[in-house]
Chains A and B, each alone.
Chain A
């Protein structure tokens, strides 16, 4: 028979063990689909085809769902599409956690900055999509310009899918330009002259989203590409040039000069994306630097008061005496999708093939989105403005990236949060570039 003291010790011991067991049970993963955490391929088995979407982006989700009930219904029958969402602001954090637990979804946006996907790839988490497409004989489903942009973004590798292929440049209001007797600018000097003439006639020359900052910082990046050449920002990434070098600071100075002259309207730092879009589409501003993803807004008569026929597109103008060319369009692949090696089973492989064959046409049909996939369906009817952009893309052989494409997440934040200060004269061009360079190391 146990003594009283021994009994108490036993009870205390059992209580502690039980509490610990309960706590461990509470802390353990409850994800039935979670793998064993290994990063090896699970070829042979077919589970669900899981897609973790940006909560704010419904276009990709919509296209995948439309494929699941149409062109990819056989793939969906053996490996059903399951979509979950995560707000974009906390997406990188979620991906890091999932990668750490070996619980990445089958397919997911490659993060808010290329650095996220590069880290995942370095850790062996990603499917080499280019190689897989080659094995499936579908490598031609990705258009060359998109492939080239992806390789520039991801150190020469192609482990993402281009769910969009956007070109960027100045969209202008043809009617305002005609009334003011102006031509679409082809050089930076023309652009400034046009802006000056427009302001003198009481029209705001540019609409810009200074609240998010990137539409302003992209002007800096484009000027650098035009004046210093297409490899100017790669040189910064490689450490052979610095943003504080005079040629780079000059680009920031040019954008600051536009702000100083009042071409962005009052308080550009208070203008958000929707307001800037609205200013252009209601004829309150004559020019708008934006990517071709805005075509869905331009083609929507409810939003576009000035009319789609009234909108023209010019690439970012050339800088006289510069090493770059206006033919090198600024391009990006929107929200590129990566695939997890740990979930790349036969079902996921079949889905990859089906997406490569059909995503381009489906995205064009469902949302009017131009993607980096070949459109394997001639019957797709697209609005005239979209068609003209498609033609521009078809005639583009060289592309350049955007200002922050090769920056770390910290330098990207610094660049974008300080862009409005640059444009409103609260931060000097050299200080702006110094701050970003400090984050680049």
Chain B
């Protein structure tokens, strides 16, 4: 075995099928899409070379600016909220509920397995304003607060989207972070407690630094997932009112497949890819610092 794995040609031969398949289904479409950014047209009319025109258009297109701003705002807020709530839940599981956390973990995780469209329909009904009030507005009315047209303005639509996505995904981050927290050696926690650390001090100085790798993984997962939000927006607000909750993904889809502008759609996809790449590199670089050192 050692002689086989020591032979570069053998390694290449063993890797070749997997690499070929990977190249065909991942790399070729990615580079193909990149190639489209310098063309305009579609499958019916054919394509013509336009150089960097599509890239230049990204800088002057108000629709792209609005979608980019929404995407970044949505990703930052949602990542902060869902990872923070997930972490609080994980701390609750490990330090408060301990072995009795099974049921709560299952219940909180449950929305993760529900189909996005079903969850969106549920939230549409919950926050309904017209033709009849949904439960949320009915509860507000009980306290003398007038009904709110939740999907009528961009601000309230944004927060309903945040709320829905948080409810849907915090269980996932809670379980992910829980796995990181149970890996912290009990002896370390015990010795910290003997040294006088407890409560928030224990969490801040011992638990957070020791769970930093999994916390960073969660943030990377979350920010990449939220930057690419698509189905929830389509099902809940369809990008509205107007285009105020339209993220880059939906704009890319509309541009490519709705308007038949494959080249410009690919340019928007490139912008989204660069955004994901920059954010991931930024998080990786900031994680290189050893947080266990003062």
Contacts and interface: CB of A to CB of B under 8 A. Distances in A.
Interface of A: 5, 8-9, 11-12, 15-16, 19-20, 23, 90, 92-93, 95-97, 99-100, 115-116, 119-120, 122-123, 125, 265-271, 275, 279, 408-410, 413-414, 417-418, 420-421, 424, 426-427, 438
Interface string B232-264: 000000011111000000000011011111000
Of B21, B128, B129, B130, chain A has the most CB atoms within 10 Å of the CB of B130
B225 interface: no
B152 interface: yes
A420 B131 CA distance: 15
Would you list the 3 A-B pairs with minimal beta carbon distance, nearest first?
Answer: A100-B43, A267-B130, A93-B257
B44 interface: yes
B255 to A, nearest CB: 8
Contacts of B44: 95-96, 99-100, 116, 119-120, 123, 125
B242 A421 contact: yes
A20 B254 CA distance: 34
Nearest to A120: B44
B241 A12 contact: no
Task: Tell me whether chain A's interface is mostly helix, strand or loop, or mixed.
Answer: helix
B288 interface: no
Contacts of B261: 410
Interface in B209-235: none
Task: Tell me whether chain B's interface is mostly helix, strand or loop, or mixed.
Answer: loop
Contact of B152 (A20, A122, A270): A270
Contacts of A421: 241-242
B185 interface: no
A418 B21 CA distance: 44
Contacts of A8: 9-10, 13
A95 B10 CA distance: 46
25 contacts: A8-B10, A12-B9, A12-B13, A15-B17, A16-B16, A19-B16, A19-B17, A19-B21, A23-B21, A90-B257, A116-B260, A123-B45, A123-B46, A269-B149, A269-B152, A279-B131, A409-B259, A413-B254, A413-B259, A414-B243, A417-B243, A420-B240, A420-B241, A426-B153, A426-B242
B130 A270 contact: yes
B42 interface: yes
A271 B130 contact: yes
Contacts of B243: 414, 417-418
Contacts of B46: 123
A16 B20 contact: yes
Contact of A413 (B12, B62, B151, B258): B258
Interface string B1-40: 0000000011011001100110010000000000000000
Interface in B151-191: 151-153
Interface in B90-137: 128-131
A92 B257 contact: yes
Contact of A15 (B13, B21, B149, B254): B13
A269 B128 CA distance: 12
Given A12-B12, A269-B240, A413-B254, A96 B42 contact: yes
A155 to B, nearest CB: 15
Contacts of B240: 269, 417, 420
B45 A418 contact: no
A271 B130 CA distance: 7
A271 B241 CA distance: 12
Say which size band chain B's interface belongs to.
35 or more
Contacts of A120: 44
Contacts of B149: 266-267, 269-270
B20 A96 contact: no
Contacts of B12: 12
A125 B255 CA distance: 23
Given A12-B9, A271-B130, A418-B242, A23 B258 contact: no
Given A12-B9, A19-B17, A92 B260 contact: yes
Of B10, B131, B239, chain A has the most CB atoms within 10 Å of the CB of B131
B16 A267 contact: no
A266 B16 contact: no
Contacts of A268: 130
A23 B24 contact: yes
A205 to B, nearest CB: 15
A11 B149 CA distance: 68
Contact of A20 (B20, B42, B131, B153): B20
Nearest to B42: A96
Contact of B259 (A99, A123, A275, A410): A410
Nearest to B132: A275
Contacts of A424: 152, 241
Contacts of A265: 130-131
Contacts of B24: 23
B36 to A, nearest CB: 14
A145 to B, nearest CB: 30
B146 to A, nearest CB: 11
Of A96, A271, A408, chain B has the most CB atoms within 10 Å of the CB of A96
Given A92-B258, A99-B43, A119-B45, A267 B129 contact: yes
